[in-house]
Amino acid sequence: MAPMRVTALAGGVGAAKFLRGLVRATEPENVTIIGNTGDDAVFHNLHVSPDLDIVTYTLAGLVDDTLGWGIKQDTTHALDQMAGLGLETWFTLKDRDIGTHMARTTWLADGVPLSEVTDRIRRGLDVAARIIPMTDDPVRTRIVTSEGLTREFQEYFVRYRHSEEVAEVHFEGAETATPAPGVIDAISAAQRIIICPSNPVISIGPILAVPGIREALRERRDAVFAISPIVQGAALKGPAEKLLPVVGAEASASAVAGLYQDFCGTFIVDYRDAPEAGKIEDLGMRVMVLETVMETPGISRQLAKEILAAP
Ligand code: FO1
Distance CA 269, CA 303 (A): 11
In this prediction, residue 1 has a pLDDT band, given cuts at 50, 70 and 90, of low
Dist CA 146 CA 46 (whole Å):
30
- In this predicted structure, what is the pLDDT of residue 72? 98
Tell the residue nearest (CA) to atom 9 of ligand 1.
92
pLDDT in tens, 132-141: 999 999 999 9
- pLDDT tens sequence across 81-110: 999 999 999 999 999 999 999 999 999 999
235 neighbors 197 (Cβ within 8 angstroms): no
Note the pLDDT tens digit of each residue in 213-228. Answer: 999 999 999 999 999 9
Span from the CA of 39 to the centroid of ligand 1 (angstroms): 9
pLDDT tens per residue, range 239-289: 998 999 999 999 999 999 999 999 999 999 999 999 999 999 999 999 999
Residue 13 alpha carbon to ligand 1 centre in Å: 9
pLDDT for 284 equals 98
Pocket of ligand 1, candidates 92, 159, 207: which has the most ligand atoms within 8 Å of its Cβ, to mutate?
Answer: 92
What is the spatial distance between Cα 93 and Cα 301, in angstroms, rounded to a whole number?
A: 30
Separation of CA 158 and ligand 1 centre (Å) = 7
DSSP character string of 152-199: EHHIIIIISTT-S-EEEEEEETGGG--BPTTHHHHHHH-SEEEE-S--
Pair 257, 236: CB distance under 8 Å: no
pLDDT value of residue 3: 78
Per-residue pLDDT tens for 25-75? 999 999 999 999 999 999 999 999 999 999 999 999 999 999 999 999 999
Question: If you average pLDDT over residues 11-20, what whole number do you get?
Answer: 97
| Domains of the chain, earliest start first | 6-138+174-309 (3.40.50.10680), 140-171 (no CATH)
Give the residue, out of 46, 69, 163, with the most ligand 1 atoms within 8 A of its beta carbon, to mutate for a pocket test. Answer: 69
Report how far ligand 1's centroid is from the alpha carbon of 150 (Å).
19
Asked if 29 and 37 count as a contact pair (C-beta separation under 8 A), the reply is no
| Entry pTM | 0.98
Q: Which residue, among 75, 23, 39, 57, has the nearest Cα to 198 in the 3D structure? A: 39
Consecutive H or E run containing 240? helix 240-243
Q: What percent of the chain has pLDDT over 90?
A: 97
- 156-193: per-residue pLDDT in tens? 999 999 999 999 999 999 999 999 999 999 999 999 99
